Structure 1
Amino acid sequence: MYAFENFITVTPEDLDELNHVNNVRYVQWVQDVAKQHWQNDASKAVLENYFWVMLNHYIEYKNPAVLGDTLKLKTYISDYKAATCTRVVEISHNDLLVAKSQTTWCLMSAQTKRPARITKEITDLFA
């Protein structure tokens, strides 16, 4: 299983009134790292022919993140079914799990704007 990683540092704009990272920010980061993974590994032709939409999203918060924390966002695909995949994102700070998400994404055809079966070419990007 191939995992893509990125690092971010918590800024004042990421915080809620308790001075912890706001829940909405985690959802944004999950979406951002998924997009980065896709754009980093997919060919220009694949990027022109397909895009992903989020179908459902589950996130579990384990530990708070605060101002100045450097967070590792690690993402990988755990399962494929026809036109959908399950993407996991683990957010950690100093090897302590901060949050973990599971999101179901649907592959869409750029031409038809309808679901498209995930091909071997696409699954190989994440193997």
Structure 2
Amino acid sequence: MQVYENFITVSDSDLDSLNHVNNVRYVQWVNDIAKEHWQKNATPNMLKDHFWVMINHCIEYKSSALLNDQVKLKTFVIKSEGVTSTRVVEMYNEKNEKLIARSETNWCFMNSQTKKPTRITQEVIDLFK
């Protein structure tokens, strides 16, 4: 399983009224890193012909991220079959390696022309092995 990583430094705009990262921001980060991973691995034709949409999302919050924390995001695909794929995103405090949040998200593979779900090919599955 291929793991993709990126880092984010928490800014003022990420915070809620409790001065913790807002839950909505975590969902945005899940979406962003999934998109980055797809764009990094996919061929130009794959990017032109297909896209992904989030169909359901479960996130567990384990600890808080605060202003100026460096957050390490790790993502990997655990299952792909038919038209759906399941991706995990883990977020860690880079300083102490403490798990902040873990999400499991199901995505649907879409045809860019028809805007309809399409079967995930072996070529696409192999991008994330």
Cα offset for 1:80?
A: 1.2
How many angstroms apart in 1 are the aligned matches of 2:30 and 2:100? 13
Unaligned 5+ runs, structure 1: none
Q: CA RMSD in A?
A: 0.6
% identical aligned pairs:
57
Q: Per the alignment, in what secondary structure is the counterpart of residue 92 of structure 1?
A: strand
Cα offset for 1:118?
A: 0.5
- Report what 2:27 is aligned to: 27
Q: Which amino acid aligns with 1:114?
A: K
- Report what 2:40 is aligned to: 40
Q: Per the alignment, in what secondary structure is the counterpart of residue 91 of structure 1?
A: strand
Q: Which amino acid aligns with 1:103?
A: T
CA offsets, 1:8-42, max 9 Å, x none? 00001000111100000000000000000000110
- Report what 1:107 is aligned to: 109
How many angstroms apart in 1 are the aligned matches of 2:55 and 2:119? 15
Residue 8 of structure 1 pairs with residue 2 of structure 2: no
How many angstroms apart in 2 are the aligned matches of 1:122 and 1:80? 9
Aligned residues: 127
Structure 1 segments (4+ residues) deviating >2 Å: none
Cα offset for 1:109?
A: 0.5
TM-score, normalization by structure 2: 0.97
Cα offset for 1:95?
A: 1.3
- Report what 1:125 is aligned to: 127
How many angstroms apart in 1 are the aligned matches of 2:47 and 2:77? 18
